[in-house]
Structure 1
Amino acid sequence: MANSKINPKKLLKTLLQILVTSAALYLVLRKTDVAKLGSIIRNANPWYLLLSLLFFNISKVINAVRLNRFFKAIGIELSAMYSLKLYYLGMFYNLFLPGGVGGDGYKIYVLQKNHGLKMINVFHAVFWDRVSGIIALIFLSLILLQSSTFATHLPQFVPYAWVVLITIYPLTLLLNKLFYKQFVEVFTITSIESLLIQIAQVISVFFILKALSQNAHMIDYLAIFLISTIATIIPITIGGAGAREITFFYLLGFIQVETHAGVALSLIFFAVSALSSLAGILTKISHETSVPETQKS
């Protein structure tokens, strides 16, 4: 990964991410009472925040297990600890080195360069891991939205939401069978793990809300969190900062709920994510992997 030359495309991407992140945060904070926001964050219960940190990292451990299961499906044998280290390093690259390799790209790079694997095989595993997570996000978002204030504001969309809920996993399985047959055998277990990952993150956010003494509109906040997570998947901001805040600000405003707690929640969640990502600095990637000859490039 050592490269002293500056890549103009990566530099431009980094500058664009910084610009979009700054613009989104400015747009939100310009319409927010910053003093009140700061007071809400300062008075947050630290014990609930520790529980939030715990469940966030539980979600990441499950995520590493799921990704390792996809690797095994294409014949890449990684130890559980190696996979976890690789995942946290990916988190670190994704958050602290924007515009460059990125978390997913870093995983592909390491396995391809250090272990002589076909890049396309690793790409398929990482890509389907991401798709599996997005499907779980959509599924849980729609479940929460059915019981949220949004359902009363937009009742005309409720039937469509139920159609998506009923069909999303059968259609995903069909897509799996048509284009990613190598992952069909692990479809059920990885789908369950994907749901557990998002549930653990929802619990993490629940504890942030408890830390902020925010007990009203709980379902609304949790639903918006899942929607904001979908929004942060598009790598146009640094670690999702700005995208999550602007999603909370405008969706809470749409249902006429006070926005300060939502913005505080999103900022704290980013801090939890950043703190957890720092563990990537402590990891060391070695060559502890076994790959069948058919998987080597």
Structure 2
Amino acid sequence: MKIKPIVLFKTIISIGFIVIIFTRIDIAQTWKQFQTLSLPFVTFALIYYTGCQLLSCWRWRVVLYSTGYSVSMTSLLSSYFAGMFLNIFLPGSFGGDVYRVYRVTKETKDSEAALVSVFLERFTGLFALSALAILGLPPAIRVVGRWDIILLFFGCVIALVGGVLLIVSPQLLKVAEPWLQKLHLQNLAVRFAKIQILLRQFAQHRQALGLSISLSFLLMLAIVYYHYLIAHQLKIPISYLELLVFIPIIAVITLIPISIGGLGVKEGLWIYLFNRIGLTGEQALSLSVTMTMLGWLLALPGGVILLLDSARSQQIKQADNSQNSFH
């Protein structure tokens, strides 16, 4: 099996960052940070993040309902967990989204509505993250006070807001189209044009749009607080406002497809940002790795869901083959 050059490049980047990080970090000190975690807290953290997933499912259900379909929260939550499990092994977060589209298509028998619902659910999250980043500008200047972090944060705000405007504005897309063609990204322009049609249709459902965006705001604030709770448990003296600045930076930069799912890049960013406010690389690594490990633990039920889904599909296939043989 031939490995694609881009996959090889991303793997090298991830491994390179990880090697650099672990050669400059005191592993014993990082392990001490981990020992502050208790089983009751880990249980609470998993329950808390499951609540965040329920908020995501509620948002997704609102979007689906606006397209004329009603899917149960149980079904949406199970597909979310399965998607999380797939994202552990697949680069980026699109593998989980593809599976979510597949699961909703099975429920609605409408692949276009399923695809639209997953995209719009993601888009309202992007919109909320952009707004959250703008709200984070004052604390970035007042709380962090480092010019490099402020510039980095400001750049991420521009990227987020620019991305949202490019998606929603036909006029801006026309301006950007020649540049996208020069970069051989004509297909991206075509996709954005289709997306804009979908957004205009969704915008007509004002109640659904408002509720979806409100849930996205609540979800983003809850995720920042989730980081804060874990940092507090690890005895890391970082404020909620500082995390409100850091998380959009990490979210935007790890979207750049230069590594496998942001692995290595994310840890390096946490270390850089922590060092700039007087915290240690060991503290940064302990927070990042704890977040990753908790995410993997939470995704384990998704593996079971995938196995059960595969078994059901196999049974249906065998039943169909038996029926065809009988006829």
TM-score range, shorter chain: 0.7 to 0.9
Match of 1:34 in 2: 27
Structure with more contact order per residue of length (Cα contacts < 8 Å, sep ≥ 6) = 1
Residue of structure 1 equivalent to 2:120 = 128
- Evaluate the alpha carbon distance shift between residue 20 and residue 59 of structure 1 in structure 2; reply closer, same or farther with a 3 A threshold: farther
**Residue matched to 1:143:** 135
Deviates most, 148-157 or 95-104: 148-157
- Which structure: greater helix fraction? 2
Unaligned runs of 5+ in 2: 170-194, 314-327
Whether the aligned pair in 2 keeps the contact of 1:93 and 1:101 (CA below 8 Å) is no
Q: 1:94 to 1:32 in 2, by over 3 A?
A: same
CA deviations over 1:50-90 (Å, ceiling 9, x no partner): 33222222111111221222222223331111111111111
- Percent identity over the alignment is 22
Structure 1 unaligned residues grouped into runs of 5+? 1-5, 288-297
Q: Which moved more, 1:266-275 or 1:93-102?
A: 93-102
In our comparison, the structure showing a higher alpha carbon Rg is 2
Out of 123, 146, 150, the residue aligned to residue 153 of structure 1 is: 146
**Distance change >3 Å, CA 198–CA 172, structure 1 → 2:** farther
Q: Does 1:20 align with 2:39?
A: no
CA distance in 1, matches of 2:94, 2:242: 35
CA 1:39–1:273 in structure 2 vs 1: closer, same or farther (change >3 Å)?
Answer: same
8 A Cα contact 2:270 2:284, kept in partner: yes
RMSD (CA atoms) = 3.7
Within-5 A mapping of 1:210-221: 210-221=232-243
Change (3 A) 1:62 1:151: same
Q: Structure 1 counterpart of 2:19, which letter?
A: Y
Q: CA deviation at 1:264?
A: 0.9
Paired positions, count: 276
Q: Is the 8 A contact 1:13 1:99 kept in 2?
A: no
Q: Secondary structure at the match of 1:78?
A: coil
Q: Deviation per CA, 1:105-155, whole angstroms, max 9, x where unpaired?
A: 112233446754234x43232222222212222322343452246652239
Deviates more, 1:263-272 or 1:212-221: 212-221
Q: Match for 2:201 among 161, 182, 186?
A: 182
Structure 1 residues 1-297: aligned runs within 5 Å: 15-98=8-91, 102-112=95-105, 116-119=109-112, 121-148=113-140, 152-154=145-147, 175=169, 180-184=199-203, 185=205, 186-234=208-256, 236-283=258-305, 284-285=308-309
1:162-221 deviation per Cα after TM superposition (whole angstroms, max 9, x unaligned): x97xx89x9699659865123222221111111111122122111111111123455324
Q: CA separation in 2, counterparts of 1:104 and 1:211?
A: 32
Contact 1:132 1:190 (8 Å CA) reproduced: yes
Give 1:232 shift.
3.4
What one-letter code is carried by the residue in structure 2 that aligns with 1:181? R
| Structure 1 residues 81 and 205: CA distance shift in structure 2, 3 A | same
My pick for the range that moved more, 21-30 or 198-207, is 21-30
Between the aligned partners of 1:54 and 1:83, the Cα distance in structure 2 is: 17
8 Å contact from structure 2 (residues 108, 114) kept in 1: no
Using the TM superposition, name which of 81-90 and 128-137 deviates more.
128-137
CA distance in 2, matches of 1:173, 1:100: 19
Contact 2:116 2:198 in 1 (8 A): no
Distance of aligned partners of 1:183 and 1:27 in 2 relative to their CA distance in 1, 3 Å threshold: farther
Contact 2:228–2:238 (CA under 8 A) maintained in structure 1: no
Counterpart-to-counterpart distance in 2, 1:219 and 1:46: 27
* Contact kept in structure 2, 1:70 and 1:125, CA below 8 Å: yes
Give the Cα separation in 2 of the matches to 1:202 and 1:113.
Answer: 34
Q: With structure 1 as the length reference, what TM-score do the two structures score?
A: 0.76
Rounded Cα–Cα distance in structure 1 between residues aligned with 2:259 and 2:64: 28
